[in-house]
A and B are shown apart, each in its own frame.
Chain A
Amino acid sequence: MSTSSPLDPSAAPDPAAHGEHGGHPNFTLTGFVIFLLSESVIFLAFFSGYTALKLSATAWLPSGVEGLEWQTPLINSVVLVSSSGTIALAEWFKHRGSLWGFRAFWLLTMAMGAYFLLGQAQEWRSLSFGFTDGTFGGTFYLLTGFHGLHVATGILLMALMLLKSFLPGNYDGGEQGVVATSLFWHFVDVIWILLFLLLYVWR
């Protein structure tokens, strides 16, 4: 993009750039990627806050708390991270033109996300400390809660895209919403890996 703009008539026309709005160019993906980069800074802020508080703490765990159980969360994590694979499969089916394959794997991804959320809720219920129990409790619920909010958003976005897949002709010109949702889902997974390392692996 150094000397000629993407709108240069000599450049090859970009089909994705001409979306549904009456021929107005559609830059949803560009905007969405920028949004994700910006969103990652909030997590970065929370991560660095957590690290700073943990490093400077004299007594990190509240009295009577042993630490976090990690086996069940690990299983949940494996489910969530593998859902990045199933969503990629769903996209591959859509690319091949198989809408039913797309819907099946898309639905599977949603189910895996929901399984993760339920596991998270169960873990919260079994814990002996609350949100206001020192910085340990505060950061734990803040980080997992904020991430869980993103998982829930991702499932809602997927539900929306699934409904849209039943509108005839909706995916004919390529669907930026599906790509964007899938990017969002990968983003949520990568954040979780970092979160898991920070919360459960780092003692």
Chain B
Amino acid sequence: MTVLTPTSPSPSPPKSSPPTWLRYFSFCTDAKVIGIQYVVLSFVFFLIGGFLAMVMRGELLTPAADLVDRTVYNGLYTMHGTIMLFLFTFPVLNGFNNLLIPVMIGAPDMAFPRLNALAFWMFPVFGLVLIASFFVPGGPASAGWWSYPPISVQNPLGHLINGESLWILAVALSGISSILGALNFVTTILRMRAPGMGLFRMPIFCWTALAAQTIQLIGLPALTGGAVMLLLDLTVGTTFYDPTGGGDPVLYQHFFWFYSHPAVYVIILPVFGIFSELFPVYARKPLFGYPFVAIASFVIVGLGLIVWVHHMFPSGVSQWMRDLFMVTTMLIAVPTGVKVFAWLGTLWGGKLKLTTPMLFALGGLINFVFAGITGIMLATVPIDIHVNNTYFVVGHFHYVIYGAAVMGIFAAIYHWFPKFTGRMPYEGLGKLHCLLTFVGANLNFLPMHPLGLMGMPRRVSSYDPEFAFWNVLASLGAFLLGVSIIPFLLNMVSSVVRGEPAGANPWRAIGLEWLLPSPPPIENFEDHVPTVISAPYGYGTGKPLVEHQGEIELALALLEGRA
């Protein structure tokens, strides 16, 4: 072990040693191992959540409720939403945080490695708790992923351990795990950056991770507090949310959305970070308006904490609240728009290289802009009340989460896969995956908008035959999305086994992580952390990022036998 005091960069970067697969099943404190643990396990749950969605879209192929029982259908959409958010999206992004933050800022590991491993190992535990709820009497939670009382505090069978109490337990554990993770990421970013890397020389992904984790630290405790009160109402018999005992069901909605609206920014901010990392690489131009993109992340955090009531416009809130939250919600479009225009400015006149990660990022950006426009529509009180609880909301949400976030996640996987495995993914399979995902997502989620405007409510297993046409289209899109996972999994497995060796910097990208061998050694730069001397994304400027960059690159080339 060495003290983290940088000396002159060594001419030979440390050699990478191939990790044994057993480490991935142990209480390993190496952030790179934990990152891969997060990503792989989250994709297991992604397949489970996706399977539930396939069953739902199968049910909705016909207007009648003929595939599953209505009660089962209630459980399906509840568990689909919960699994996809708490067991896929948050963990996969925490995986990226673990993989990328230390190598991007030149730290050897996280600030608290043991806490990091603890936070990860809570993930399989609450995952199992949630999945176990399928097998308890009465079935899993069926109150929707919001778990609104009074529906969520119904316990007709009277068992102490029921679907809903397991749901609350899983969500609370997930919250604790996320808070532990957030403590780690924030401390690491604030205290462990390479010499010379001031905040305004930090890669945008780290800015967005910092912003997103700030939301976790502020928002999650509120949700946890609200969930504790819900659990007490359900099991002990308190009346916090029960009007017959003086309680208020709308109070729960405040707790829930105070966190769960910003939670969408916890998801989308790192994806903005991924876009900001990828566009400069594949357009060969510096990121347009770097400081504005960086600051916009925190403007989104600030505004994001004061918009939650837009989920509650029809919940009997007063008119001044509706007006206020409509305005704050619309204001979010300003920092978001700053980012979108910065990306367009980056792409404008660039030498675009349409690799798989770039195609995923471009597709994600297109879907995001569409989702942003319907978001502004939904912020408008009269429109929101009109389409409240219809498929319009479902369509908007899935454009954000699947169209933009999941495509951004895939972009990141294809982009950094060579760095952490040392092998290149296959371009052909990757492009097929991208095409199927983009077409599938749009075919699946676009028809939900006309359906919502026509008045089809969400969370129903049977519907009026006039909605059949758009539903059949949406289901076909969903099945296409299901198929799109096959080339992805094939690609990942076969590339790990026999993909072409990647080398340290296959995309000719600029960033500290690309000055490390692939895969990086256990402690990254160890005590040879390079000193950062210029702003990130110096594409086409010819300026070196770090001191002695030539020597480091030469040493990497020697290591690979290229020179």
Which A residues form the contact surface with B (CB < 8 A)? 1-9, 13, 17-18, 21-25, 27-28, 30-31, 34-35, 37-42, 44-46, 49, 52-53, 56-60, 131-132, 134-139, 142
Can you list 26 contacts pairing A with B, beta carbon distance less than 8 Å? A1-B198, A3-B198, A3-B200, A5-B196, A7-B191, A7-B195, A17-B191, A23-B2, A30-B111, A30-B187, A30-B191, A34-B187, A37-B217, A41-B218, A42-B222, A45-B226, A45-B258, A46-B225, A49-B226, A49-B240, A52-B248, A131-B232, A131-B238, A134-B239, A138-B232, A139-B240
Whether A135 touches B198, Cβ cut-off 8 Å, given contacts A27-B187, A31-B183, is no
Name the distance in Å between B314's Cβ and chain A's nearest Cβ.
19
CB under 8 Å from chain A, chain B span 201-258: 217-222, 224-226, 228-229, 232, 236-240, 245-248, 251, 254-255, 258
B1 touches A24 (CB 8 A): yes
Task: Report how far A5 CA is from B196 CA in the complex, Å.
Answer: 6
Task: Assess the A49–B2 pair: CB atoms within 8 A.
Answer: no
Output the least CB separation between A139 and chain B (Å): 8
Interface residues of B in 149-187 (CB under 8 A from A): 179, 182-184, 186-187
The stretch among B3-11, B39-47, B402-410, B438-446 that forms the contact with chain A is B3-11
Residue of B nearest to A14 (CB): B191
Which chain A residues lie closer than 8 Å to B108 at the CB level? 24
Seen from chain B, the residues whose Cβ lies within 8 Å of a Cβ on chain A are 1-6, 108-109, 111-112, 115, 179, 182-184, 186-187, 190-200, 217-222, 224-226, 228-229, 232, 236-240, 245-248, 251, 254-255, 258, 529
Of the candidates A27, A44, A59, A60, the one whose C-beta lies within 8 Å of that of B111 is A27
**How far apart are B217's CB and chain A's nearest CB, in angstroms?**
4
Contact B246–A134 (Cβ < 8 Å)? yes
Instruction: Select one of B2, B115, B198, B217 contacting A4, CB under 8 A.
Output: B198
Contacts of A137 in B (CB 8 A): 238
Q: Which of B192, B219, B239, B255 contacts A135 (CB 8 A)?
A: B239
- The answer to whether A31 touches B221 (Cβ under 8 A) is no
B4 pairs with A25, CB closer than 8 A: yes
Residue of B nearest to A46 (CB): B225
Q: Which of A30, A49, A53 contacts B246 (CB 8 A)?
A: A53
Residues of B within 8 A of A59 (CB): 246
Inter-chain contact B246/A57, CB cutoff 8 Å: yes
Q: Which residues of B contact A7 (CB under 8 A)?
A: 4-6, 191-195, 529
A38 to B226: give the CA distance in the assembly, Å: 15
A34–B221 CA distance with the chains assembled, in angstroms:
13
